[in-house]
Each structure stands twice: as structure tokens, then as C-alpha cells.
Amino acid sequence: MTWEYLHLIAHSFPIVLSVSGTLVGLFGWWRGKLELERWALIALVIAAGFIVPAYLTGLAAADVVADRTFVRPGVVQSHRFAATWAAIPVFTAGALAAFALHERDDTRLRRFVLLVGLAAALAIGYAAWQGARIQHGDREAVGARMTTTAGGEGWATAARDSRSPVSSRS
């Protein structure tokens, strides 16, 4: 198993938990359901726990993926930059959520955490959108997908033929 595939597995948990937890918590705030707000806090704590492995596997995979995938050079770096800035509010929301779970009667703290969770969900959603532009897989599979979607000769076909990212074909 490569770092790339470990990252593809690990990154889903913080995205889903922060977005769904925040949405459920905001719905609970709107409807006056304390149980839904607490469920959101638990989801944010779990998301913060998963952000660490997702971030570390992403760092380990970034250099390898940037060297072998057929994407513009800045795509991996822009995803890494967005992921770094997304990890901060997700981890902060999780830490504050753990404290808010301890202080069960503090409504203002709980709702402040939900707003921080909303910022975290937006940041991690943007980072995920940046990461979705990265092509994953081996050279042949990525080259075939790019040729099919591009509709002709190009970088993908040249790389598939020569086994290198750049071809010297004329």
C-alpha cells in the first residue's frame, strides 16, 4: 500500500465528519435540538482526530504524486497549501468541541464551536476540491484517462509511449 492510497482512505473521514457534523449541528441549533448539537460536537472531535493521519499521509504522498502524475505542477502544491490551512480550523473546532462537551451547559460555547465548525467545513471542502483535480493511479491508467478525456494526442499519449512525462516525438 502506498502513501497515496493511504491518503485516499484517510482523507475522507475529516471531510465527511466536519461537513455532516456541522450541518447537523446547525440544524439542531435552528430547531432547538440539543442532542443534534452534541452529535455535531462529537463528529467534530472525531474529525479532528482523523485530520492528523490524513494530513501526514498527504504530506508523505505529495512529492511522489507530484513527480509521477500528469497534472499541472502547481496542482499538488495548491492542494497541500489549502490542506494545511484547512487542518488548522478542523483541529481547532475539534479541540473546542471536546471542551464544549465537557462544559455541557454552556450554550454560547457550543454554538461558537458550531460556527468554527462551519469555517472548518468550508476550508476542508475547498481543500478537497483542490485535491479532486489530482489524477491518481499508474502512468498507463492516467494516460488512458487523459487521452480519452482530451480527445487526442498530447502529453498523456507521449508519456504512455515513452514511459516519461515528456516525449521527444516530433
Report the distance separating Cα 160 and Cα 166, nearest Å.
10
Contact 43, 94 (CB under 8 A): no
What grid cell was written down for 122?
Answer: 468550508
Cβ neighbours of 148 (radius 10 Å): 10
Q: How high is the pLDDT of residue 77?
A: 83
Contacts of 107 (CB under 8 A, 6+ apart): none
Q: How high is the pLDDT of residue 164?
A: 41
Full pLDDT tens readout for the chain, 170 residues:
888 888 888 888 999 999 999 999 999 999 999 999 999 999 999 999 999 999 998 888 887 777 765 666 688 888 888 999 999 999 999 999 999 999 998 999 999 999 999 999 999 999 999 888 777 665 555 444 444 444 444 444 334 444 444 444 44
Report the distance separating Cα 135 and Cα 168, nearest Å.
23
Burial of 47 (0-12, 13-18, 19+ CB in 10 A): buried
Contact 166, 158 (CB under 8 A): yes
Report the distance separating Cα 158 and Cα 153, nearest Å.
7
